Structure 1
Amino acid sequence: MKRVLVTGGAGFIGHHLVNALKEYDVTIIDNLSTGKREFIPENVRFIKGNLTDRKFVLSNIKDFDIIFHLAANADVKRGSIDTTVDVEQNILATHNVLEAMRINGVKNIVFTSTSTIYGSALMPTLENYGPLKPESMYGASKLACEALISAYCHNFGMRAWIFRFANVIGPDGTHGIIFDFINKLRKDSFELEVLGDGKQAKSYVYIDDVVSAILLSVEKSNDTVNIYNIGSDNTIPVSEIASMVIKEMKLKAKIRYTGGSIGWKGDIPKMLLSNAKLKALGWTPKYNSKESVKLTIRSLI
């Protein structure tokens, strides 16, 4: 039985992935800063700790066949206020993981990256799009992690699968636009504040589609560094998501837009990834953006 480590395995994406890895011997490392203990299955080994602590990482990341490295700062907006958080929690933590792999002889890593590494790009955006000009500290840090992973793979005989996500949504979500809208409306059922002008339109991909894409890609691709986009095949505007949340909550709230083409510094207002490379492996998303949004709203309210 393969020994698998999932960093960030108590988080939203992590715990859905762990649930799909039942045939493996799974260990989770999570500091529970955003992850939840109730997301951890009883039959899974759990180690609480911080990946920024190199001694902790070196002593715990060994004797695994593959690392699914999901742990990261997930708050994209935070980087414009605290410029160190993405450097520490994304870049330094990933470097510690890679160093532990190098020293302890672990050869395979799956890394969850982001569409924000592309910046404002031509759409649908292909994996070989360039030049890459991320506009958020989060996107910049994830791109730096990708570069480190590539270098380690080529220098130390490792293999990597890197996945650039659109907006991942689904049951048990702990952050993101739908989560935020629902919480805002629970506090004020008469008015919903929406950042920007509501015209931002992005791809939203359902968590089940993400997990199936990851597992299929790891099984079927074996380059030294394998890079794939994962998204739905269309976009949905923020204004429509806001209206859908209000409708599903059976409210009559007024929508108030803060104005401007972006929701925050570093926000990418338009995003649609090409899934062509993944589809060549035999994968296709079951849900489009609107279907994903509706399913997610109903699971969270």
Structure 2
Amino acid sequence: MGDKAGTRVFKKSSPNCKVTVYLGKRDFVDHLDHVDAVDGVILVDPEYLKDRKVFVTLTCAFRYGREDLDVLGLSFRKDLYISTFQACGVDFEIRAFCAKSIEEKIHKRNSVRLVIRKVQYAPEKPGPQPMVETTRSFLIALMKVLVPMMHCAALLPRRASSVNVHVTNNSTKTVKRVKISVRQYADICLFSTAQYKCPVAQLEADDQVSSSSTFCKVYTLTPTLDKNREKRGLALDGKLKHEDTNLASSTIVKDVTNKEVLGILVSYRVKVKLVISRGGLLRGMLDRDVSVELPFILMHPKPVEPPLSRPQSGEEL
């Protein structure tokens, strides 16, 4: 009899082995207009169930403090919403348990909690090339800066990003240095809104642009987690056990005017700064550096479906 490829199944059982949850996948895609349905199988010992019912909940929770800080009945975790049929971060989990009613206290011995992820992938069709332009007036002359990003609007973590800088210097000033940085912005939306800003890639070049001249150059930066692991306020993608993670993908919201969105909203911008030479104390106070910011999307492409493999237990993931 020939070997047959099995179907990959995620499995997790309660401590007393009376309730078991089976899921075909743990990543569920947010398509903006809909989210993949979470479907699976619950196996319950009928003799253990008796006169009780089986409940399944889908919970989205936001943790804004370490678990070891949960003392005196205070929990640094807020459930954003619960659908019945549940470090700082947003997580989703499937919970199955036996009880006479859904309000009954849930015991660990007869309940199962299995973490899943809601993910977004880069659009299959690339969008328009992001570009921004600014003009700075120096008394009687102008300096014009044009910054288009090369390739496509959706860039990949750990892959080089090309920034094409065009400078038209019609002023009497001289650009003595070019600074470029990729910055991650994380808006924490819970009780109130707070924003964390963290540079994830930086570059500084001694490229000069003299008066009455033009300049064009492509700079390359690679935003990676490896060089930013120790930074505070950095948003990361959620991960399952025994998996590495990476910089958080950009958050795409269908309705940008909705002010009731809860969780962490991540965005990225490239900042280009031209350092201007200054002459004298008074001119140094009047002549400010020229800077411009360009938003862009940092996301993963939709992965190719993995080949079929043997079932895996949820405790191993």
Bigger strand share: 2
Taking structure 1 as the reference length, the TM-score comes to 0.29
Which structure would you say has the larger Rg?
Answer: 2
Bigger helix share: 1
Taking structure 2 as the reference length, the TM-score comes to 0.28
